[in-house]
Structure 1
Amino acid sequence: MINDCHLHTAFSGDSDTPVRRQIEKAMELGMKEICITDHHDYDSGFCDTDFNLDIPSYLSAMKAFQAEYEGRIRINIGVELGLQNHLDGYLHEFIREHGSSFDFIIGSSHFVSGMDPYELSYWEHYGEERGLEEFFKVSLERARNLYDVFDSFGHLDYIVRYAPHQNASYSYERFSQWIDPILMELIEHGKGLECNTGGLRYGLAQPNPSRRILKRYRELGGEIITIGSDAHTPDYLGYGFQECRRFLLRCGFRYYTMFHGRKPEFIPL
């Protein structure tokens, strides 16, 4: 069973799942290890949900669970950092202070200019075509400016989950002028690309990013692929991982990656 390295617990503002339930579900599925990656989106006060993570409490709790489950399942400590360009100083200070406390850090684009694509107001403001375009533009800026605060770039085309017509108005080719440079930035700096099966759960018939982007990353020389379900409840932990395995093998990958102490370990698919 592929190990899940993107999942959330009640430490995330958008989940009420106890940590223990996620761990027990992973064991039930036969996973040898997981990485818990709760949200930390600093300066997201415009959202109804509080996405700021209580770092000391989180780290303390995760270390206690590591000790409790030692010998049964390996629990890696991760975090999903929300990337915003104006947080350059804050994010780099966060890494200086806390970076060594984590096994794995996902860097994700969630917001655009103080707006959340999850909300209808974002699409009313931009329209569908421009809303997608603006998301990829800011994602490129973040990949260029903030590559040194994360290990893998999360769900690159995540925005299509919430677009008015989902991926009916979206393709890699339409936005490749921004997507290709993102992939090249990741490769140049030795950063991973996440294959997030949340897209399958949202009815997109593909993970995030799409198979075409995953294949393009491989064509350009990318090798570091991390796999996560983005599960906020146990029901979706490991969701679609067998289909994900087939996607990745068809794209030319033979390994996926788990991070330990911020260092990649390659595991055969």
Structure 2
Amino acid sequence: MYDNHIHSKFSTDSKMDAEAACKRAVEIGLKGIVFTDHVDYDYPDFDESFLIDYENYFQVFCGLKDRWKGKLDVLIGVEMGFQPQVTDKINQVLAMYPFDFVINSVHIIDHMDPYTGAFFRGRSQQQSYERYLEEILLSVNAYDNYDIIGHIGYAARYGNFEDKPLRYADYSDILDMILKAVIHKGKGIELNTSGLRSDLQQPIPGYDVFRRYFELGGEIVTIGSDSHFTEHLGHCFEEAAHCLKAIGFKYTMHFEKRKPVFEAF
């Protein structure tokens, strides 16, 4: 299996050494890893460290790819933080560099990050999650230069609510619009296992969303740990694969040069 979502020191919120990540990936039996460091343009309380020096990025990871050839597939991706006003900048950058894989993620809504708690102030849980999902739907349709939608349900990790998970049954109308749009555009969704090591106690999104995605005809699924530490690489991948197979999926995939590569269960 491939871990399709990991963060190295190029992400301001990660201290993970890329070489150490490769070593750990081999130790736990992964076939490949995809570095998908954060890029968030126009981030609230702007911090240059949320941007990447792309020339250095590719120099480092191309070297890593060569050093681990034959032992581990090292692929170069990016996690692009969506906001409506930055899509032109995202498209400009993606046209300039040969990424293998692009995650379209929503981290900022109404210029507020759920991580800080500001997004939830003055909103109920339902209002918060609905507004978050509206932004996901906007991101799906706003541009085409991405491969999958990342961690649908990210906001649920940070709300100060007694019962945190974002469940399909509670937001079925807008989740159906998101999933249908993803399928129509030939894109995919991510099973992000970070939720399984949080108080959500389920992947992001939950398996209920994947069941509906499968019912609607969705096929493109990647699995990623969203690791910021080596010990989280490949976290709960066997469980994730087992549950996807039980739903009916025949394979997951990773991307090379922006093309899907299928991995049968």
TM range (shorter): over 0.9
Q: Which residue of 2 aligns with 1:141?
A: 138
- Tell me whether 1:69 sits opposite 2:65 in the alignment: no
Q: TM-score, normalised by structure 2?
A: 0.95
1-structure distance, mates of 2:164, 2:94: 38
| Partner in structure 2 of residue 261 of structure 1 | 257
Equivalent position amino acid for 1:214 in 2: F
What per-residue deviation string (whole Å, max 9, x for no partner) do you get for residues 207-244 of structure 1? 00111111111111110100000000001111111111
- The 5 A counterparts of 1:70-219 are 70-98=69-97, 101-146=98-143, 148-165=144-161, 167-168=163-164, 170-219=166-215
Q: Find the aligned partners of 2:113 and 2:56 in 1 and give their Cα distance.
A: 27
Superposed CA deviations along residues 182-217 of structure 1, whole A, max 9, x for unmatched, are 111111111111000011011322100111111111
Residue 243 (str. 1) matches residue 242 (str. 2): no
What count of residue pairs does the alignment treat as equivalent? Answer: 265
Q: Aligned with 1:118: secondary structure? A: helix
| Residues 178, 199 of structure 1: alpha-carbon distance in 2 compared, 3 angstrom cutoff | same
Task: State the one-letter code of the partner of 1:104.
Answer: F
Aligned to 1:60: 59
Contact 1:106 1:150 in 2 (8 A): yes
Give the Cα–Cα distance (whole angstroms) in 2 for the partners of residues 232 and 192 of structure 1: 23
Distance in 1 (CA, whole Å) between partners of 2:29 and 2:163 is 33
Distance 1:170 1:68, change over 3 A: closer
The 2-side partners of 1:166 and 1:237 are apart by: 29
- Asked whether the 8 Å contact 1:46–1:115 carries over to 2, the reply is no
Distance 1:47 1:134, change over 3 A: farther
| 1:32 and 2:28 aligned | no
Q: Percent identity?
A: 35
- Go from structure 1 to structure 2 and tell me whether the alpha carbon gap of 1:70 and 1:80 turns closer, same or farther (over 3 Å shift): same
The 3-state SS of whatever aligns with 1:86 is: helix
Matches within 5 A, 1:3-42: 3-42=2-41
Q: 1:167 to 1:104 in 2, by over 3 A?
A: farther
Whole-Å separation in 2 of the counterparts to 1:168 and 1:96: 38
Amino acid across the alignment from 2:257: G
Q: Tell me the CA shift for residue 120 of structure 1.
A: 2.0
1:26-63 CA distances to partner (integer Å, 9 max, x unpaired)?
01111111111111111114267832122111111110
Structure 1: unaligned runs, 5 residues or longer: none
The Cα of 1:169 is off from its aligned counterpart by: 6.5
SS in 1 for 2:15: coil
Once structures 1 and 2 are overlaid, which stretch shifts more, 86-95 or 225-234?
86-95
Is the 1:7–1:232 Cα contact (8 Å) retained in structure 2? Answer: yes
Q: Does the CA-based 8 Å contact 2:165-2:200 persist in structure 1?
A: no
Change (3 A) 1:95 1:199: same
**1:141–1:204: structure 2 CA closer, same or farther, 3 Å change rule?**
same
Deviates more, 1:86-95 or 1:8-17: 86-95
- Comparing 47-56 with 101-110, which one deviates more in the overlay? 47-56
**Residues 167 and 83 of structure 1: CA distance in aligned 2, closer, same or farther (over 3 Å):** farther
Please tell me the root mean square deviation across aligned C-alpha atoms, in Å.
Answer: 1.5
Structure 2 unaligned residues grouped into runs of 5+: none
**Per the alignment, do residues 248 and 17 of structure 1 end up closer, same or farther by CA in structure 2, a change over 3 Å counting?**
same
Q: 1:191 to 1:62 in 2, by over 3 A?
A: same
The Cα shift of 1:18 comes to 1.0
